[in-house]
A and B are shown apart, each in its own frame.
Chain A
Amino acid sequence: MTRETAINLLLAALLLALPLIAAGMGEPFYVTLATRVVVLALAAVGLNLALGLGGLLSFGHAAFFGLGGYAAGILATHAFNAEPLFAGIPGTTSMPLIWLVAIAVAGLVALPIGAISLRTTGVYFIMITLAFAQMIYYFAISWPAYGGEDGLSIYVRNSFPGLNTAQPLPYFLICFVVLMAALLAFRLIEGSRFGSALQAARQNGVRLAAVGIPPFKVRLVAFVLSAMITGLAGALYADLNRFVGPSMLSWHMSGELMVLIILGGKGRLFGPVAGAMIFVCLEYVLGGITERWQFFLGLILLGIVLFARGGFLGLLSGKPRHV
């Protein structure tokens, strides 16, 4: 077992144990805080596929996060009001169904966005993904049917067969299992033939094309997969807060996801998890002391970018090796 694997296991155990203990001590607030860590980590696992493995600096992943959130909110609202969605199709409050819709919507929207954005590279790619996300953001603000600027409340958290999702702990466990499944998928993809091609596309796209693998196609598939995971996280986030609003779609959210990855370690399996743990802890601890806690987040980020490119995991476990 490598050092990084040991640290990963420790992080996973910590993330599972703390809310269990908190729930045992009758402190549901900390369970909810841990759920926030898990859901943000999941969203960042999605981005990590594009950014970490593929080197695609998407500054528009809030779009997929928000779309996943709105998928949950809209389906739940229609089910709650007993109004059909369209053409007689009813809404639903079943999480598994909502997740499928969120994944599908995020993927379907990511396909054209990726197909256009991936024709550019570097700073243009960053800007064009940002532009697409902002388009969707302003669309959500100006569409009164689903709350517009005020967002959409989910009055009762959606249901999962056999579990009482209204309780913080069962909902945490659902999210935790989804995160672990996503991490497993990430690990499998990273080590697969597709993962090889994707990482080669990041390292040297010309080399990839020279052996006959089209970099554009590889990047596009990665971008869509990445959006699907982030979309799923959005649906979970909406259910966590029982609310979805345009802020989930804003560029701040895209930036936050990037920050999580840089904090934790870009391209590393548990980078997003470590990043989300640090981020939420800072937000809670520093945020309790001063409203300007993001100033200190900025300082930490600066330190990491200057002195520890591998993020928190890079500091602890050294350089990754591809054998």
Chain B
Amino acid sequence: MSEPILEIRDLQKSFNALKATDGVSLDLKPGQIHALIGPNGAGKSTLIHQIAGSLKADSGTIRFLGQDIGGLDMAARARLGLARSFQISSLAQEFSALRNVMLAVQAKEGSSFRFFRQVTSDRSLIDPAMAMLERVGLAHRANAPAAELSHGERRQLEIAIALALQPKAFLFDEPMAGMGPEGSKQLTTFLDRLRHEAPMLLVEHDMDAVFALADRISVLVYGRIIASGTVDEIRRDPEVRRAYLGEAA
């Protein structure tokens, strides 16, 4: 057994009386895609926010690469190698797609306090950024402002930004949302290959994608993990079928 990259133990988070995260523990191991499923309002995004650092957990520990990252802010966690995509795309709207990715490249290089060299002629930013856009199939839209991209293109751009960070783990919050069947299929193939670069915690509603991709699935209901196991175990679990999958599975 290899050491987990990301190790979450007994995480708790309440919003007043609502327990959004109720004693969640899970591991993300190298080469793995760990899918997080559950009905709307189960606390999946809240969990991602706590791991990424945009929300502070009430208690519990989050260890990343063996280090407790509970006290670090979002930027510090990202620098350690935790790359996330947002459920609702979050981009620098006025910047072109290319400049959005270039920002990630410069962040990765740790060189954001340089005041003279002009980025628009800086091959060391442009070339890697362009390569990432090519990988996600968005190179033809490189110069379009993020605000003018279609919904699907924005999702692709989010992934290109995450790739540019060359992270140690990905946190993807519903990357397929609103993608359409063709787009989802392509993205599924893409994510399948991506697991070899870094493991992935994947929140997703598209069950075809989840069953095709996941090595492990955890089912979150009312902030609790009610089941965790391989695809087959989850498919067979009677409690999961009742709570979430219904007869479709």
Chain A residues close to B by CB (< 8 Å): 188-189, 191-197, 199-200, 203-204, 206-215, 218, 221, 321-323
Q: B residues 45-84 with Cβ under 8 Å of A? A: 52, 54, 73-76, 78-79, 83-84
Identify which of A189, A192, A204, A209 contacts B92 (C-beta below 8 A). A204
Q: Is the CB of A212 within 8 A of B145?
A: no
Interface code B156-181, partner A: CB below 8 Å = 1, 0 otherwise? 00000100010000000000000000
Chain B residues with CB under 8 A of A323: 96, 98-99, 120, 143
Chain B residues close to A by CB (< 8 Å): 52, 54, 73-76, 78-79, 83-84, 86, 90-96, 98-100, 102-104, 106-108, 111-120, 122, 125, 143, 145, 161, 165
Nearest CB in chain B: distance from A50 CB, A:
15
Chain B residues with CB under 8 A of A199: 92, 94-95
Chain A residues with CB under 8 A of B122: 193
Q: Is the CB of A194 within 8 A of B115?
A: yes
Complex: chain A residue closest to B114, CB-CB: A193
Nearest CB in chain A: distance from B222 CB, A:
27
Known: A199-B95, A211-B107. A192 touches B119 (CB 8 A): yes
Other A-B pairs, 16, CB within 8 Å; known A193-B114, A210-B74: A192-B116, A193-B111, A193-B117, A193-B122, A194-B115, A197-B103, A199-B94, A200-B92, A203-B95, A204-B90, A212-B78, A212-B107, A212-B165, A213-B106, A322-B94, A322-B99
Q: Of residues A189, A196, A203, A208, which shows the largest number of chain B Cβ atoms within 10 Å of its Cβ?
A: A196
CA distance A278 to B122 in the complex (A): 37
Complex: chain B residue closest to A221, CB-CB: B113
CA distance A210 to B92 in the complex (A): 12
What are 30 A-B pairs with beta-carbon distances under 8 A?
A191-B120, A192-B114, A192-B116, A193-B112, A196-B99, A196-B103, A196-B106, A197-B103, A197-B106, A199-B92, A199-B95, A200-B92, A200-B103, A203-B94, A204-B90, A204-B93, A206-B54, A207-B91, A207-B100, A207-B103, A208-B75, A209-B74, A209-B78, A211-B165, A212-B165, A213-B75, A213-B107, A323-B96, A323-B98, A323-B99
Complex: chain A residue closest to B74, CB-CB: A209
Q: Is the CB of A194 within 8 A of B114?
A: yes
Complex: chain A residue closest to B121, CB-CB: A191
Q: Of residues B54, B108, B118, which shows the largest number of chain A Cβ atoms within 10 Å of its Cβ?
A: B118
Known: A212-B165, A323-B96. A189 touches B78 (CB 8 A): no
Chain B residues with CB under 8 A of A189: 115
Chain B residues with CB under 8 A of A200: 92, 95, 103
7 nearest A-B pairs in the assembled complex, by CB-CB distance:
A212-B78, A212-B79, A211-B107, A214-B75, A191-B118, A209-B74, A203-B92
CA distance A206 to B104 in the complex (A): 13
Chain A residues with CB under 8 A of B117: 192-193
Q: Is the CB of B94 within 8 A of A212?
A: no
Chain A residues with CB under 8 A of B75: 208-210, 212-215
